[in-house]
């Protein structure tokens, strides 16, 4: 009796899902027929006709849409890759500080994590950009014996120029993800039994060496899966760039879609490319995970 | 199964679209407006200077004045209007389904919208020549687009804003860097914080945004116009009687400015024309000699009614968008043709 009820329920849910999907697909087909558009990707080869504020490979408005999207992707990857590195260091430092016996250090870390995790990322990005970076003076301010300078246009050090949009996004994302990573790392360290701490201390090892050689290796299997999901979040959150004027893949796609009217095609490219990126991150982290667990044995 | 569903849905769509065309009977909507004794006017209600809801609940702006002028001409009183606030996607459907009589909602006049194969509307003459413009800080001493070489320009993601910006700058071979944000508020913030030398949007929107600044008079809108956005009222296509009436009401406003007839001096003009039989064209226009009104299905004193209610085009402009408003948009293209603008009315005879 119970089993039959379950089947009925499954059947109903199945029918609902299929009909919703059916309605959506029908809608799409009917609208495509009505507007006489059909699916097409040939616009990718047409000239883009808009400029991009920053690029690593030279881009002109007469270049085609696909090239514009590639430029956007490089901009995204630039933020994501450095964001991953920066947030890992931040998280590692804050996470270890939380478990530290040094009261000042552990309280600062707690304050950082508490504050950052309560405020939505979009608001944090707006704060970094509109308040912190655009609040800088318009005249470049030299630092490090004139090796670099900073103004509300950008940051420059040893010939490397970064726009304020890039800086705000990178710092905003890293600080945000860093707080979550810190919590993951703290949890990992806490998962190692107290006996291990006492063991290395009785061997006469210093706190730093003990942490690095004894505690962290044992904590890693608990840390890596948590960090993986934070990395994936960071990659996805990078699309908030459009709110603070950074020309990432989403900002470029947005312009592309409004200009060509090809929303379905534009979004499909966006979806597939993010899927691929996150698969790459997941696979890489899977490798790390196996290595870490191997070490444990 | 899916195929059946698809055919069902398609035939339903066809049936409904068939209904819409059958509903159009031969009677003009102008007669309906007169029987109803009320004009239903579609407006935005959200754009300062064009149509904006005041704190006392009344609407104000140039789009509203157009509705009032139409009501004065059709029904004899500017108050016989019912305003229907509409969003951008709703506006064309509202006309097609007959929910509103006239659309007066800063709508760009273009081929697709004015054609049977497109949105199926009929446009009246342009009431405001808008266009994409650039706003800069007045202490930057920038007065021409050429001075923006290598500048950062703050731009919002919108219909074709970025493309227009690029077309204009490429054509003049000026280098620039677009800082693109998602909406106008962020564009304004970026511009005010000094990230960009200039910000771009439709000129009327720039002017409206400026009213919210701390020191509006420290910002100027450059005279260079990057794109054409002629805004015009519209009514349903295929109804010549209504379209004619709407068209000549707009032309009346412009004609009045050409002839320097306004709210204050219209009674004097009537007196003058009544006494002086040689002023034939003025007598016809003011309805002292009958004929003009009848031809467009209105009473002969329609011109007088319009001017008494709203004043001429220049008065309306100055009050809501020009020097007497808090937007101050220079008249530029919106001046009369005799003053290097684009507004001109064909002869009213």
Q: pLDDT digit string (tens) for A194-212? A: 999 999 999 999 988 998 8
Q: Which of residues 21-40 of A touch B (CB under 8 A)?
A: 22, 26, 29-30, 34
| Distance between CA atoms of residues A87 and B182, nearest Å | 26
Kindly identify which residue of chain A lies nearest to residue B167, measuring between CA atoms. Answer: A49
* Beta-carbon separation of B13 and A255 below 8 A: no
The reported pLDDT for the residue numbered B65 is 97
Claim to verify: residue B237 and residue B323 sit in the same structural domain: yes
Q: Are B165 and B192 in contact (CB under 8 A)?
A: no
Residue B132, pLDDT above cutoff 70 = yes
**What b/e readout covers B322-333, taking b as 16+ CB neighbours within 10 angstroms?**
beebebbbebbb
| Distance between CA atoms of residues B33 and B75, nearest Å | 8
Claim to verify: residue B120 and residue B148 sit in the same structural domain: no
Claim to verify: residue B74 and residue B218 sit in the same structural domain: no
| Distance between CA atoms of residues B346 and B349, nearest Å | 9
Instruction: Quote the tokens at residue A162.
Output: 């970064």
Helices (H), A133-212: 164-191, 194-202, 207-210
Average pLDDT over residues B85-112: 87
Residue A31, pLDDT above cutoff 80 = no
Interface check A71 vs B, CB under 8 A: no
Count of domains for chain B: 2
Claim to verify: residue B221 and residue B239 sit in the same structural domain: no
Q: Is residue B17 part of a domain?
A: no
Q: Average pLDDT, whole number, for chain B? A: 88
Residue A226, pLDDT above cutoff 80 = yes
Q: Is residue B305 part of a domain?
A: yes
Interface check B2 vs A, CB under 8 A: yes
- Residue A22, burial from CB neighbour count under 10 angstroms (0-12, 13-18, 19+): middle
With contacts defined as CB-CB under 8 Å, which chain B residues touch A30? Answer: 6, 9-10, 13
The reported pLDDT for the residue numbered B19 is 41
Please give the span between the terminal C-alpha atoms of chain B, in angstroms, as a whole number.
64
Q: pLDDT digit string (tens) for B25-73? A: 568 999 999 999 999 999 988 888 899 888 898 999 999 999 999 999 9
| Distance between CA atoms of residues B132 and B155, nearest Å | 11
- β partners of residue B314: none
Q: pLDDT digit string (tens) for B314-343? A: 999 999 999 899 888 888 889 999 999 999
Q: Which of residues 237-266 of A touch B (CB under 8 A)?
A: 242-245, 247, 251, 254-255, 258-259
Instruction: Please provide the DSSP assignment of B294-347 as one string.
Output: HHTTS-TTHHHHHHHHH--HHHHHHHHTSTTSSS----GGGSBGGGTSSB----
Residue B295, pLDDT above cutoff 70 = yes
Residue A294, pLDDT above cutoff 70 = yes
Nearest-10 Cα torsion for B296, B298, B299, B301: -80
* Ordered structural domains, chain A, with CATH: 39-296 (1.10.3720.10)
| Distance between CA atoms of residues B212 and B325, nearest Å | 13
Q: Tell me the shortest Cα–Cα distance from B208 to chain A, in angstroms.
A: 22
The reported pLDDT for the residue numbered A97 is 92
Instruction: Quote the tokens at residue A148.
Output: 């670099």
Q: Is residue B102 part of a domain?
A: yes
From A33-37, A190-194, B255-259, the region with the lowest mean pLDDT: A33-37
Highest mean pLDDT among A140-149, B114-123, B257-266: B257-266
| Distance between CA atoms of residues B309 and B116, nearest Å | 34
Residue A161, classed as helix, strand or coil, is strand
Claim to verify: residue B279 and residue B325 sit in the same structural domain: yes
Average pLDDT over residues B198-224: 89
Residues 6+ apart with CB under 8 A from A53: A163, A165, A245, A247, B152, B177, B178, B179, B180
Claim to verify: residue B124 and residue B248 sit in the same structural domain: yes
- β partners of residue B103: B42, B234
Instruction: Quote the tokens at residue B258.
Output: 């050409």
Q: Is residue B166 part of a domain?
A: yes
Any idea what the CATH number is for the domain that residue B269 is in?
Answer: 3.40.190.10
Residue A34, pLDDT above cutoff 70 = no
Interface check B160 vs A, CB under 8 A: yes
Residue A119, pLDDT above cutoff 50 = yes
Q: Are B262 and B315 in contact (CB under 8 A)?
A: yes
Claim to verify: residue B167 and residue B116 sit in the same structural domain: no
* Beta-carbon separation of B13 and A244 below 8 A: no
**What b/e readout covers A42-77, taking b as 16+ CB neighbours within 10 angstroms?**
ebbeeebbbbbbbbeeebebebebbbbbbbbbbbbb
Q: pLDDT digit string (tens) for A38-53? A: 678 888 999 998 999 9
What are the contacts of B140-149 at 24+ separation with CB within 8 A? B140/B197, B142/B197, B142/B198, B142/B222, B143/B220, B143/B222, B143/B223, B144/B222, B144/B223, B144/B224, B145/B169, B145/B172, B145/B174, B145/B222, B145/B224, B146/B172, B146/B174, B148/B174, B148/B176, B148/B197, B148/B198, B149/B174, B149/B175, B149/B176
Q: What is the ipTM of this complex?
A: 0.79
Residue A179, pLDDT above cutoff 80 = yes
Q: Which of residues 238-277 of B touch A (CB under 8 A)?
A: none
Average pLDDT over residues A104-108: 94
* Beta-carbon separation of A53 and B178 below 8 A: yes
Q: Average pLDDT, whole number, for chain A? A: 90
Please give the span between the terminal C-alpha atoms of chain A, in angstroms, as a whole number.
48
Q: pLDDT digit string (tens) for B232-279? A: 999 999 999 999 999 999 999 999 999 999 999 999 999 999 999 999
Which residue bears the tokens 């996470």?
A: A95
Residues 6+ apart with CB under 8 A from A130: A244, B189, B190, B193
The reported pLDDT for the residue numbered B315 is 96
Q: Is residue B254 part of a domain?
A: yes
Claim to verify: residue B142 and residue B105 sit in the same structural domain: no
H or E, element range at A203: none
Claim to verify: residue B212 and residue B250 sit in the same structural domain: no
The reported pLDDT for the residue numbered B48 is 85
* Beta-carbon separation of B193 and A130 below 8 A: yes
> Side-chain half-sphere of B5: how many Cα atoms within 13 Å?
14
| Distance between CA atoms of residues A211 and B320, nearest Å | 72
Give the domain range for residue B271: 29-129+231-334
Q: Is residue B241 part of a domain?
A: yes
Q: Which of residues 72-101 of A touch B (CB under 8 A)?
A: none
Instruction: Give Cα A246 to chain centroid, integer Å.
Output: 14
Claim to verify: residue B123 and residue B52 sit in the same structural domain: yes
Q: Is residue B13 part of a domain?
A: no
Helices (H), chain A: 2-34, 65-99, 103-118, 121-126, 164-191, 194-202, 207-210, 216-237, 249-260, 263-296
Q: Are B83 and B41 in contact (CB under 8 A)?
A: yes
The reported pLDDT for the residue numbered B20 is 42
The reported pLDDT for the residue numbered A296 is 56
Claim to verify: residue B166 and residue B99 sit in the same structural domain: no
The reported pLDDT for the residue numbered A139 is 83
Claim to verify: residue B43 and residue B164 sit in the same structural domain: no
Predicted confidence band at B313 (pLDDT cuts at 50, 70, 90)?
very high
B contact test, residue of A26, A51, A164 with most B CBs within 10 A: A51
- β partners of residue B343: B336
| Distance between CA atoms of residues B74 and B302, nearest Å | 7
Closest CA to B72 of B326, B304, B331, B273: B304
| Distance between CA atoms of residues B96 and B80, nearest Å | 22
Q: In what order do the strands lie in the sheet with B59-60?
A: B46-47, B51-53, B59-60
| Distance between CA atoms of residues A284 and A224, nearest Å | 11
Q: Is residue B277 part of a domain?
A: yes
The reported pLDDT for the residue numbered B17 is 45
Decide which of B195, B227, B259 is a domain's last residue.
Answer: B227
Strand residue runs (E) in chain B: 39-43, 46-47, 51-53, 59-60, 81-85, 102-103, 121-123, 128-130, 132-137, 151-156, 176-181, 198-202, 219-221, 229-231, 234-236
Q: pLDDT digit string (tens) for A229-287? A: 999 999 999 999 999 999 999 999 988 887 777 778 899 999 999 999 999 999 999 99
Length of chain B: 349
| Distance between CA atoms of residues B316 and B318, nearest Å | 6
| Distance between CA atoms of residues B209 and B231, nearest Å | 19
């Amino acid at each position: 009796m119970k089993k039959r009820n379950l089947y009925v329920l499954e059947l109903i849910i199945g029918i609902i899902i299929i009909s919703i999907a059916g309605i959506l697909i029908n809608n799409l087909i009917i609208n495509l027929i009505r507007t006489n558009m059909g699916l097409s990707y040939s616009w990718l080869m047409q000239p883009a006709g808009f400029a991009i504020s920053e690029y690593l490979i030279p881009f002109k408005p007469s270049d085609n849409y696909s090239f514009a999207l590639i430029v956007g992707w490089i901009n995204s990857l630039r933020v994501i890759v450095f964001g991953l590195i920066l947030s890992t260091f931040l998280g590692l430092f804050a996470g270890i500080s939380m478990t530290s016996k040094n009261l000042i250090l552990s309280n600062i870390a707690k304050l950082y994590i508490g504050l950052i995790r309560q405020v939505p990322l979009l608001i944090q990005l707006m704060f970094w950009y509109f308040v912190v970076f655009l609040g800088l003076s318009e005249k470049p301010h030299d630092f490090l014996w004139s090796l670099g300078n900073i103004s509300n246009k950008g940051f420059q050090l040893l010939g490397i120029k970064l726009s304020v949009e890039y800086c705000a996004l990178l710092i905003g994302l890293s600080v945000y993800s860093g707080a979550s990573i810190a919590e993951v790392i703290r949890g990992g360290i806490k998962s190692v039994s107290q006996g291990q701490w006492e063991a290395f201390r009785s061997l006469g090892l210093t706190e730093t060496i003990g942490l690095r050689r004894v505690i962290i290796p044992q904590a890693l299997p608990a840390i890596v899966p948590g960090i993986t999901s934070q990395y994936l979040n960071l990659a996805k959150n990078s699309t908030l760039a459009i709110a603070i004027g950074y020309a990432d893949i989403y900002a470029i796609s947005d312009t592309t879609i409004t200009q060509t009217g090809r929303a379905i095609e534009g979004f499909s490219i966006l979806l597939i490319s993010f899927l691929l990126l996150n698969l790459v991150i997941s696979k890489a982290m899977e490798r790390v995970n196996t290595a870490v667990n191997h070490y444990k044995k | 199964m899916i195929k059946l569903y698809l055919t069902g849905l398609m035939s339903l769509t066809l049936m409904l679209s068939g209904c819409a065309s059958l509903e159009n009977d031969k009677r003009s909507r102008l007669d309906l407006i007169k029987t109803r004794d009320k004009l239903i006017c579609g407006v935005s209600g959200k754009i300062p200077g064009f149509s904006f809801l005041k704190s006392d609940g009344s609407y104000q702006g140039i789009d509203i004045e157009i509705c009032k002028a139409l009501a004065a001409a059709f029904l004899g009183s500017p108050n016989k209007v019912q305003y229907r606030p509409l969003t951008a996607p709703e506006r064309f459907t509202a006309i097609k389904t007959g929910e509103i009589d006239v659309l007066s909602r800063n709508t760009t006049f273009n081929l697709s919208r004015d054609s049977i194969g497109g949105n199926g509307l009929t446009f009246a003459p342009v009431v405001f020549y808008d266009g994409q413009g650039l706003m800069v800080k007045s202490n930057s001493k920038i007065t021409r687009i050429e001075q923006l070489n290598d500048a950062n320009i703050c731009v919002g993601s919108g219909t074709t804003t970025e493309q227009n910006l690029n077309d204009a700058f490429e054509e003049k071979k000026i280098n620039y860097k677009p800082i693109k944000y998602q909406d106008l508020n962020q564009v304004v913030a970026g511009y005010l914080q000094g990230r960009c030398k200039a910000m771009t949007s439709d000129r009327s929107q720039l002017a409206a945004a400026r009213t919210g600044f701390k020191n509006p008079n420290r910002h100027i809108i450059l005279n260079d116009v990057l794109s054409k956005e002629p805004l015009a009222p519209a009514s349903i296509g295929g109804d010549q009687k209504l379209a004619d009436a709407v068209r000549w009401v707009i032309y009346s406003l412009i004609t009045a400015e050409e002839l320097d007839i306004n709210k204050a001096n219209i009674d004097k003009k009537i007196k003058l024309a009544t006494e002086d039989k040689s002023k034939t064209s003025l007598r016809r226009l003011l309805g002292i000699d009958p004929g003009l009104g009848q031809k467009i299905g209105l009473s002969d004193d329609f011109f007088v009614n319009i001017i008494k209610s709203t004043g001429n085009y220049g008065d309306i402009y100055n009050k809501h968008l020009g020097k007497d408003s808090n937007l101050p948009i220079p008249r530029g293209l919106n001046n009369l043709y005799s003053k290097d603008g684009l507004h001109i009315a064909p002869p009213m005879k």
